Amino acid sequence: MYSQLVKTEFEGNRFVLFVSIVLNIFFFILFSIEDSPDDNPVGSFMGATSIVFYVCLIVLAIQGSDEKRYQLYTLLPVTATESFLAGWFWVLCWLGLQVCFWLLFAFTIDPSFESRSVIEIASTGLSFWFLIVLIANAIDLGSFRPAYVQWAYIGGIVILIGVLARLGISIGIYFGDEENDFFPFGLFADPTANIFFVCTLVVLLMIANWYIFTRSDHYLR
Amino acid sequence: MAILEINELLKTYGTFSLGPMDLSIEPGCALGLVGANGAGKTTLFRSLMGTVRKDSGEVFVDGVDTNVTPAIWKQQVGYVGDYTPLFDSWDGHKNLNTFSRFYPDFSMEKAAQLAQRLNLDLTKRVKTYSTGQRTKFAIVLALSHSPKILFLDEPSNGLDPVAREIFMEILFEYMESGENSLIYATHHISEIENLADRIVFVSSGLIVRDEIKEDLAERWRKLTFRHELPLESIPHVLSHKSEHPFHELISDDAAQTMQHLQECGVGGVEASRLSVEQITVQILRSSAREISHV
C-alpha cells in the first residue's frame, strides 16, 4: 500500500512540481545568459529558485489542508506511518531535485566548481530540510492534544531564533557575506561539524514529527 | 464470529467523554445508532476509522485486532462520514481510479452503476460538487469495494428525497445477502425504521439502550387510566403524567407495568402502541434526565 500512496502523493502534487520545474528552467536560462554585473550568479539562481520552492511548498500545504489530504489517507487502508513516510518521501524527492538544479547550474556556469562549493550547496539543501521539518512540527502539533503544546513549540522556536540572531549565529535561512552563512547554523568553525550538528537536529526533529503525526487527531487536519 | 467487536472503547475531548463502550455486531445485522446531536455518534465512527485516536479500548473488525494489525482491515469497511475528503481538483473518475488502488475488490463497473443510479456526474470536478453530490460520491466509494460492513454517519444529510429513496434501496440490496452488516447513525429514527433490525441508543457518549426493533414495538405502550389515589414506583415507566384523577404512562414493558397496576387495584387501563419515533424520543429524554441527575 505504501507504493500506492507514494504514487497518489506524486499525482496529487504533479501540477505544483511541474510549475516548480518550469520556473527552475526559466531562471536557469535567465541567469546563464544574463550579462549582468552580478558576480554571484549561483547565489542569485539559488535565491530565486528558493523563493519558488517555498512558495510552491506553501501552495501545496494550503491545497493539502483544503482537501484534508491526511484525513483522506487516514480513511484509506494505510497506516499513519505509511502516510507520514509517503508525505516526506515526496518532499525530499522534490528537495533533492532542487539541489540537483543548483548543482547543475553551478557546474554549467563554472565547470571548475570546487568540491567545497558542492558541499555548501548540498548543505543548503539540508538547511531547507531542517526548516521544513521545523515548520511541519508546528503545523502537525495543531491536531495534537493537548493544544497548548503547539503554542509552546512555536514560542520556543521564536525565542531560540531570537537568541541565535542576537548572538550573530546564522540559522542558514539567508545568504550573507560570510562563508559560514552558507551552512545551517554557523555554530562551529568547522563546516563538517556544522553539517553533522544539523543532520543530528534533522533526525531528532523527524522522529518528533513521526511521533506527533502518528498520534494526531487527523480529522483536525 | 462478530464482524465488529468493540471493547471498552474510550475517547475523551475536554469535558466530553465517549464510552467506555462495548458493542458487538454479527454478520447480517443492520444496526441503527440513534442519539441526539452531540451524543457521540460521530466520535464513535471517527475513533473506529482512526481519524481521532481513541484513548483506550479494543476494536476487532472481522476478527482482526485493529490496534495490532496494519490498516489493511479497512478494506472490509465502507465509510460515509459527515465530510468526505477528496482530491478536489480531479474529476470523479480520477478520484475513483485513485481509490481503487487501495482496495483489491474495487469494481469500477459497480462504481459507475451506483453513480448512475444516484444520478452523479463523475466527469465533473469534485470541487464543483454540492454537499449532496459529495455524499453521493462517498456512498459510491463506500460500496464499490464490496465491504463486509458499512459505517454510515448521518449519510442522508444533503441528499434530495429521490436520492434518499434510491440510497435506501441500495442499502436494502446490500443487506440482501445476509452476510453484510451496517451501522447507520442518525437522529431521525424514521430513516432506518424499516432497515434496522437492532437499535442502539446513545446519550452523552454512552450506550443507554440496545434493543431489537421488533421487541421495542411489542413491549412499549402508552397506558392511560383513571385512578383516585397517588401511584408511586411503577415498574418500567419512563414517563408519568397525571392530572387528577387521570394518568398517562409510557412503559417500556407494558405487560409488567399492567400487572403491577392490577395488583394496585387499577382497572380500565387502555394501552396504545407507540411509533418507533415516539419511543426514541422517550428513551433519549429519559436518558438525558438520568445522566443530568448523575
pLDDT band at A68 (very low <50, low <70, confident <90, very high): confident
The pTM of this model reads 0.84
Residues B265 and B200 in one domain: no
B265: left (phi > 0), else alpha (psi -120 to 50), else beta?
left
Q: Which of A89-103, A171-185, B27-41 has the lowest average pLDDT?
A: A171-185
Residues B77 and B91 in one domain: yes
Residues B198 and B234 in one domain: no
Domain that holds residue B286: 216-292
Q: What is the DSSP letter of B41?
A: H
CA B44/CA B46 separation, integer angstroms = 6
Q: Which of A76-80, A147-151, B107-111, B273-277 has the lowest average pLDDT?
A: B273-277
pLDDT (tens digit per residue) in A105-132: 988 887 777 776 787 788 888 888 988 9
Residues B20 and B78 in one domain: yes
At residue B280, the pLDDT reads 85
Residues B70 and B165 in one domain: yes
At residue A174, the pLDDT reads 43
Query: Could you tell me the CATH number of the domain that includes residue B52?
Result: 3.40.50.300
The cell 553539517 sits on which residue?
A195
- Last residue of a domain, which of B213, B238, B271? B213
Is it the case that residue A184 has pLDDT exceeding 60?
Answer: no
Greater model confidence, A146 or B63: B63
Angle between helices B108-117 and B161-176 (to 10 degrees): 140
Is A81 in contact with A214 (CB distance < 8 Å)? Answer: yes
Chain B residues contacting A via beta carbons under 8 Å: 46, 49-53, 70-75, 79, 81, 83, 85-89, 98-99, 101-103
Residues B42 and B179 in one domain: yes
Number of Cβ within a 10 Å radius of residue B69: 12
The cell 475517547 sits on which residue?
B11
- Last residue of a domain, which of B162, B187, B213? B213
pLDDT (tens digit per residue) in B177-208: 889 999 999 888 888 888 899 999 998 899 98
Closest CB to A71: pick one of B51, B72, B74: B51
At residue B129, the pLDDT reads 93
CA distances from A102 to A28, A44, A175, B186 (A): 9, 10, 15, 57
CA distances from A214 to A7, A151, B48, B57 (A): 21, 19, 15, 18
H or E element, residue B132: helix B131-143
Note whether A75 contacts B49, CB cutoff 8 Å. yes
In chain B, the number of structural domains is: 2
At residue B294, the pLDDT reads 52
Entry field: residues in chain B: 294
Note whether B79 contacts A12, CB cutoff 8 Å. no
At residue B247, the pLDDT reads 84
ipTM above 0.85, yes or no: no
Residues B27 and B140 in one domain: yes
A74 chain-B contacts, CB cut-off 8 A: 49-51
Residues B128 and B168 in one domain: yes
Is B132 in contact with B159 (CB distance < 8 Å)? Answer: yes
Measure CA of the first residue to CA of the last residue in chain A; give whole Å. 22
Query: Could you tell me the CATH number of the domain that includes residue B275?
Result: 3.30.70
At residue A173, the pLDDT reads 46
CA B250/CA B248 separation, integer angstroms = 7
pLDDT (tens digit per residue) in B17-33: 897 999 999 999 999 99
Among A10, A65, A75, most B C-beta atoms within 10 A, so best to mutate, is A75
Residues B154 and B261 in one domain: no
- The full DSSP string for A139-194 is HHGGGSSSTHHHHHHHHHHHHHHHHHHHTT---SSS--SSGGGGSSSTTSSSHHHH
Among B18, B93, B102, B106, most A C-beta atoms within 10 A, so best to mutate, is B102
A205: left (phi > 0), else alpha (psi -120 to 50), else beta?
alpha
Residues B285 and B162 in one domain: no
Bridge partners for B21 per DSSP: B9
Is it the case that residue A168 has pLDDT exceeding 80?
Answer: no
Residues B225 and B157 in one domain: no
Is it the case that residue B72 has pLDDT exceeding 70?
Answer: yes
CA distances from A112 to A46, A106, A117, B141, B228 (A): 18, 9, 10, 57, 110
At residue A35, the pLDDT reads 64
